C-alpha cells in the first residue's frame, strides 16, 4: 500500500538537490551573482536591483515552481529571507567569444 499522506500538499525541501538545480542552465554564474548581491544588500529591493545590474531579472509571477515561493519572499521584504538564486533568469545572452564563428567572412 502507498505511504500515508501521498495526496497531501506537503512541501519537502532538499537543499543539496536545490543547489544542483540552481547550477543548471547558467552554471555557477547565477549562484555567484546571488551570493555577491546577498552580501552587499541590506534589503530585498536592493538585492533584486543588484541582480538586475548583473544581468539577471526576477522571474515572472505565476503558479509554477519556483514563482510562488519567489514572489512570496519578495513581497514579504524580509532581508533574512532573500529570494534564492533560482528566482532569477538571464536577461541577455552573453556575447560570443572571439573564437566563436559568426558565419560572416
pLDDT greater at residue 25 or residue 67: 67
Q: In which band, very low, low, confident or very high, does the pLDDT at 36 lie, cut at 50, 70 and 90?
A: very high
pLDDT for position 21: 55
pLDDT for position 90: 92
Report the domain count for the chain: 1
- Evaluate if residue 11 carries a pLDDT over 70: no
Determine, yes or no, domain membership for 85: yes
Determine, yes or no, domain membership for 8: no
Report the C-alpha gap between 80 and 102 in whole angstroms.
Answer: 45
- Structural contact between residues 81 and 72, judged by C-beta atoms closer than 8 angstroms: no
Would you call 24 exposed, middle or buried from its count of C-beta atoms within 10 A (0-12, 13-18, 19+)?
Answer: exposed
Determine, yes or no, domain membership for 30: yes
- Evaluate if residue 94 carries a pLDDT over 90: no
Q: In which band, very low, low, confident or very high, does the pLDDT at 92 lie, cut at 50, 70 and 90?
A: confident
Structural domain including 75 reads 23-90
Amino acid at each position: 500500500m502507498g505511504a500515508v499522506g501521498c495526496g497531501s500538499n506537503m512541501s519537502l525541501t532538499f537543499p543539496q538537490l536545490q543547489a544542483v538545480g540552481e547550477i543548471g542552465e547558467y552554471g555557477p554564474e547565477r549562484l555567484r551573482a546571488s551570493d555577491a548581491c546577498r552580501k552587499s544588500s541590506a534589503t530585498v529591493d536592493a538585492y533584486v536591483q543588484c541582480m538586475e545590474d548583473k544581468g539577471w531579472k526576477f522571474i515572472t509571477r505565476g503558479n509554477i515552481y519556483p514563482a510562488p515561493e519567489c514572489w512570496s519572499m519578495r513581497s514579504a521584504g524580509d532581508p533574512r529571507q532573500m529570494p534564492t538564486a533560482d528566482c532569477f533568469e538571464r536577461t541577455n545572452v552573453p556575447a560570443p567569444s572571439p573564437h566563436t564563428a559568426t558565419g560572416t567572412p
